[in-house]
Every structure is written in C-alpha cells, then in structure tokens.
Amino acid sequence: MNKRPYILALLLGFFSMGLQAQENKPYTLEDCVNRAIEMNISIKRARLDLESSVLDKSDAIGSFLPTFNVQGSHSWNIGLNQNITTGLLENVTTQFSSMSGNINTTIYNGMRNVRQLHLANLNILAREYQLKDMTEDVMLLVANAYLQVNFSKELLKVQQDQREVSIQELARTKALIAEGVLTVGDIFEIEANLASQEQAIINEENNLRLAKINLAQLLLIEDYSTFELADEKFDIPISEVLLENPKTIFETALQNRNDIKLALTNIEIAETNVLISKSALQPRLSAFYSYSTRLSYSDRLVPSGDFSEVPIGYVAGSLQEVRTLRPETQIAPPQNVWDQLSQNDGHNFGLALNIPVFNGKSAQNNLKRSKINVLQSQQLFEQQKLDLETTVNQAFNNAEGAYKFYEAAQKTVVARADALEDAQKRYQEGIMNSFQYVQAKQRYESAVSDLLRAKYDYVFKLKVLEFYFGIPIR
C-alpha cells in the first residue's frame, strides 16, 4: 500500500494548522505598527506617489535623448490612372510602398531639461518625506489605540478583582450578621455595591470591545473575534526628555521632522518651477535629420538594345526626309527592391531655431504664478514652524502635567488604601455601618481607576514628546 499520499496530506494539515496559528497569534505593539505600515491605504497611496515621481525622473532623463521615429505605408490604387510605364490613362491597379525615419535632438532650450531633472529629483525627495511623515502619524495613531486597548484590559481586570473582593465581603457580612455583630440592614449596601460593580464590568467589557474594534479597523483586520493582543506590561518609563528645555526639543524637531523637511523641499520645488518658467522665454535650438525612400510594384520601360529610324523633319528646298536613330524600349518587371531603395532615397537635415515673441502672455503669466507659488510655500513653511513650536510646547506641558498627575494619583491610591483598610476593620467590629464602608471602598476603586488612566495618559503623552525629540516609538 502506498503511504506517501497520506504522509503528504498529514504534512499539509500540520502546515495549514501552523499558518492558522501564526495568523491568530496575539499582536504585540510592534506587530500592530508593522501591519499598519504595510496595510494602511494612505501609506499605500503615498508609496504609489513615490513610484510615480520616479517615473517622472525617467521622463526628465529622456528629455536629454534624441527622438527617433519610423513611418511606413503601403497603398493600392485601383481605377482610371496614368500608367507610369506607357503614360496613357488606363484602368490599372498599382501598388506603392514608402518608408521614412527622422531624428530630432534639442541643442539648447534655456536649460529647461536640466531644471526638469532637478525638479524630478526634488519631487522624489518630497514624496519620500511625505511617506515617512505619514508613516510616523500612523504609528502614533496605532500606539494610541493599542494603549487604549491595554488600558481597558487593565481597568476591566481591576473591576473584576474588586468584584471578587465584594463577593468575599458579602460572605463575611453574612457571617457577621449571623454572629450578631452587624444588623440585617448592613447587607443591603454591600449587595447594591456588588450590583454596581457588575454594571461597571459590563461597561468596561463594552469599552474593551470597542477599543479592539477601533484598533482592528486601523490595522484593516475584519475578523474582530480572533483579534487578540499580547500581554505586555507598560511600566512608567523614565525618560530624560522631560529634563530638556522645550526650546531644545523644538529645535531638534525642526531638524528631524519630515513634515518640516517636506515644507523646505516644496520651497525648492517652487523655486525650480520659476527657473523652468523662465526657460520658456528663451530661444530653442534643435537639430533634425530625416531619411525617406519608396518602392513601386509596376512594370517599367527599359531599353531593348535595338534602334529604329524615325523621321524628324525635312531639308528646306529639297524636301529630303531627315531621319535619326531612336532606341527602342521593352516592358520589364519591377526593379530589384534594394536597387529601388537606394535609387529613391532622400536625406533632409538642418537646424531649427524657435524664438518666443508673443504667445498671448501665457509664458509671462506662468512665470508670475511660479513666483507667487514660491511666496506661498515660504509662508506655509513659516506657519508650520509656528505650529510645530506650539505643538511641542503643548506636548511638553501635557507630558509634564500627566506625570505630576500620575504621581498625585499614586499618593491618592496609597491614602485610599489605608483609609479602606481602616474602614474594613471598623466595619468588621461594628463601629462603621455598611454605607460608610461602601463609600470608602468606592473611593478606593475610583482612585485605582484614576491611577490607571493617569498611567496610560502619561505613557502616550511621553511617547508624543519623545517622537518630536527624534526618539522612535517602541
């Protein structure tokens, strides 16, 4: 029995299972960022723009090369026409072929081709900056969505842990009531708190689901049910960027930001367009050469080698007939193709000078528009600098404020934990009623939630600030 098909099927099964497991593996932050960079539609369009600009450069290089074109035709002529063999009008069918080729090259055009090549290189550089800037924006967007999912996961975990504590408190309260330490009315507040925690868990589950859907949409993942994130711990990072001066961060961003580099490149592009517009006002000198030949497929008259006497007149007075010898002809087939090509060829070459004198002011107006575009690009760059400085200052203040808020939230959690521990002791001793105890517990839970929110808020705002300082997202 041949076992090879079964072994092959088993190997294919393991292979497909491995692929499915690989596709369904939990996503890390790095995995999410890499997938977003690969799948994002805006980034794909930016890549296509870059490819298009590379083709534009190829066109600019081609403007330095001569143009070469070849034409050919074959025609049939049927009907009453002059027979080129006999010179008589006859109903004949004739065929002709003709072919030609021409070369044209630019000698001088105001350095337009040189400037167009420079413009093409600048456009490639601009598209590269645009692609990098868009990639960085997508990375920040994905990082924010990823942190939001992790924040919702941790907050849900806190709510679930607190529910377990509340369940234990409910059991302990029932025991204290049975022992006579607490009254039956004390259990109502504990049960109400447990019910509110159940509601909070449902709310956080919905928030987590929405956060995952939002991240999955950014990554173009359609199957939300199998989309899971890896368990990554985000501790509070210690970054020296907060020790820097906002002015220093702004100057660093001014040197490293791709949108600033793009704005500077756009100024160069506008200035190059001014030079190209000036080139249109200068003379253009070009050289040309063309070659043509033709073929005929009709019969022809050729000398037969014989001569005949024919009268050409009479002598005055004697009326004596005057004769001369005239060569006789005969009909021959068409001449050899190569002989016809060489005998019928023609050459045409020369120089052409085109001097722009008046063209409806279009060239002058294009020059004026190009100069206006330079001013607009410069003003846009200055505005981007102002916006960047404002953004950096806001990012620095946000990160610094978020860290201070996180420190305050830590202190609040410690104080609320001590207060809850004291309230728990007093509650178990019957000194505090359930309402007061639940209030202390809820204040502690609120402090823990605020700490988590402050933690992730600080992490993201710090990443934004580091991003402007040139530190990549990790």
DSSP state of 219: T
For 292-330, give one letter per residue: b (16+ CB within 10 A) or e.
ebbbbeeeeeeeeeeeeeeeeeeeeeeeeeeeeeeeeee
C-alpha count within 13 angstroms, C-beta hemisphere, residue 388:
25
Are 140 and 391 within 8 A, CB to CB? no
Are 98 and 67 within 8 A, CB to CB? no
pTM of the model: 0.77
Per-residue confidence (pLDDT) for residue 25, from 0 to 100: 79
C-alpha count within 13 angstroms, C-beta hemisphere, residue 387:
10
Nearest alpha carbon to residue 52 among 351, 44, 207, 273: 44
Q: Compute the distance between CA of residue 460 and CA of residue 454 in angstroms, rounded to an integer.
A: 10
Q: How far is CA 123 from the centre of its chain?
A: 14
Helices (H), 283-361: 337-343
DSSP 414-458: HHHHHHHHHHHHHHHTTSS-HHHHHHHHHHHHHHHHHHHHHHHHH
Q: Compute the distance between CA of residue 274 and CA of residue 363 in angstroms, rounded to an integer.
A: 11
Write down the residue that tokens 């109502």 correspond to.
188
Are 198 and 170 within 8 A, CB to CB? no
Write down the residue that tokens 């033709």 correspond to.
294
Q: Compute the distance between CA of residue 31 and CA of residue 25 in angstroms, rounded to an integer.
A: 10
- Beta pairing partners, 202: none
Query: E strands within 234-299?
Result: 284-296
Instruction: Quote the percentage of the chain above a pLDDT of 90.
Output: 43
Q: Compute the distance between CA of residue 112 and CA of residue 119 in angstroms, rounded to an integer.
A: 10
Per-residue confidence (pLDDT) for residue 20, from 0 to 100: 41
- Beta pairing partners, 405: none
DSSP state of 232: -
Per-residue confidence (pLDDT) for residue 24, from 0 to 100: 64
Per-residue confidence (pLDDT) for residue 84, from 0 to 100: 59
Are 283 and 110 within 8 A, CB to CB? yes
- Beta pairing partners, 67: 104
Q: In terms of residues, how long is the chain?
A: 474
Crossing angle, helix 41-62 and helix 29-39, to 10 degrees? 50
C-alpha count within 13 angstroms, C-beta hemisphere, residue 182:
28
Per-residue confidence (pLDDT) for residue 324, from 0 to 100: 83
Write down the residue that tokens 């000078």 correspond to.
353
User: In 10 A of CB 207, how many CB atoms?
Assistant: 17
Q: Characterise 317 by phi-psi region: left (phi > 0), alpha (psi -120 to 50), beta (else).
A: left
- Beta pairing partners, 303: 329
Residue 468 host element (H or E) = helix 434-468
Per-residue confidence (pLDDT) for residue 374, from 0 to 100: 96
Crossing angle, helix 41-62 and helix 112-179, to 10 degrees? 170
Tell me the chain's radius of gyration from C-alpha atoms: 45
Mean confidence (pLDDT) of the chain: 85
Q: Compute the distance between CA of residue 259 and CA of residue 391 in angstroms, rounded to an integer.
A: 13
Q: Compute the distance between CA of residue 319 and CA of residue 336 in angstroms, rounded to an integer.
A: 48
Q: Compute the distance between CA of residue 219 and CA of residue 52 in angstroms, rounded to an integer.
A: 25
C-alpha count within 13 angstroms, C-beta hemisphere, residue 155:
27
Nearest alpha carbon to residue 386 among 260, 277, 266, 269: 260
Nearest alpha carbon to residue 135 among 411, 473, 414, 406: 473
- Beta pairing partners, 286: 106, 352
User: In 10 A of CB 122, how many CB atoms?
Assistant: 21
Residue 31 host element (H or E) = helix 29-39
Pick out the chain residues at pLDDT < 70: 1-24, 82-87, 237, 299, 301, 474
